[in-house]
Amino acid sequence: MSLAPTWMRTNGGAAGGVTLARSACGSLLVEVMRGTRMLRASGALWLAADRMLVAADLHLEKGSSYAARGQLLPPFDTRATLDRLEGEIAALDPAVVVLLGDSFHDARATARLAPEDSLRIAGLAKGRTLVWVVGNHDEEGPGALPGEVVDEIETDGLTLRHEPAAGPQRGEVAGHLHPCAKVVAYRRSVRRRCFLTDGERLILPAFGAYAGGLNALDPAFAGLFGRSPIAAALGPRVVHPLRVETLSAD
């Protein structure tokens, strides 16, 4: 018999905190704009009310982009990223898959896709709606690949877009910044991709295998949250909530 999650509220001082609970699957459940949102250990967001799976910043074909400039990387990033995305789809059976911008690393990425990878991406749209939110790396969209191309989506009190707007934005879900959390303890440090949320706004980690990360304490995040956020750091199977005040700079 599965047990219902136990909800708790983080200490946010006079400004409040974030209401969260641990899911049996290791995901973190958080309340954002009065709705329950599931932060997955893969780095994807699950919006159960709409059966919507959201992943940001796949940066497909980043490896081949670097290779074209003479910086050789193992050319397996697209396949590794698609493996993880297909795993999430198999586990959750979404009605809608939203790729939240910078799905491709550059405008020529779709032309460099291996034929089998193109077929796998096309397969993401079978039996469901596939939505491409455009980002700064892929403003032209996915080319001939199936799916809807949009600038942003509104659903269940949320606005999904690639790049965070300036200042606090209630209900915004965005990517672009690739947040990471660094923790230092006992003379050792751990750095992990993370979600950032204050219960009103949510920034997703990069989903792509070769996508880098920006420390959550970087000035780029300053002013985005109306109250102190939490970092939801990705473990192999579990998402760990951390107060931003406990994190370390690079």
| pLDDT tens-digit map of 62-89 | 988 876 676 777 778 999 999 999 999 9
- Band the pLDDT of 129: cuts 50, 70, 90: very high
Q: Which two tokens stand for residue 20?
A: 């969260």
Candidates 87, 94, 83; CA nearest to 117 is 83
pLDDT of residue 13: 43
Q: How far is CA 47 from the centre of its chain?
A: 12
In Å, how far are 17, 165, 223, 227 from 14, measured between CA atoms? 9, 25, 18, 9
Judge whether 132 lies within some domain.
yes
Candidates 131, 141, 53, 42; CA nearest to 93 is 53
- Total domain count for the chain? 1
pLDDT of residue 87: 98
pLDDT of residue 38: 98
pLDDT of residue 11: 62
| pLDDT tens-digit map of 81-124 | 999 999 999 999 999 999 999 999 888 889 899 999 999 999 99
pLDDT of residue 187: 87
Residue 43 Ramachandran class (φ > 0 left, ψ -120 to 50 alpha, else beta): left
Judge whether 161 lies within some domain.
no
Given a contact cutoff of 8 angstroms between Cβ atoms, the answer to whether 22 and 29 are in contact is: yes
pLDDT of residue 138: 77
pLDDT of residue 213: 95
Judge whether 162 lies within some domain.
no
Write the CATH number for 121: 3.60.21
Indicate if the pLDDT at residue 1 is higher than 70.
no
Decide the pairing of beta strands 35-39 and 45-47. antiparallel
Q: What is the mean pLDDT of residues 217-222?
A: 96
- Domain of 87 in residue numbering reads as 18-156+169-246
pLDDT of residue 71: 72
Judge whether 78 lies within some domain.
yes
Report, in this order, helix, strand and coil percent for the chain, each rounded to 5.
Answer: 20, 30, 50
3 state SS of 148: strand
What pTM did the predictor assign?
0.93
Q: Which two tokens stand for residue 84?
A: 């993880």
Judge whether 113 lies within some domain.
yes
Taking residue 154's Cβ as centre, other Cβ atoms within 10 Å add up to 10
Q: What is the mean pLDDT of residues 141-155?
A: 94
In Å, how far are 130, 131, 158, 204 from 30, measured between CA atoms? 25, 24, 14, 13
pLDDT of residue 141: 84
| pLDDT tens-digit map of 19-47 | 999 999 999 999 999 899 999 999 999 99
pLDDT of residue 10: 75
- Band the pLDDT of 4: cuts 50, 70, 90: low
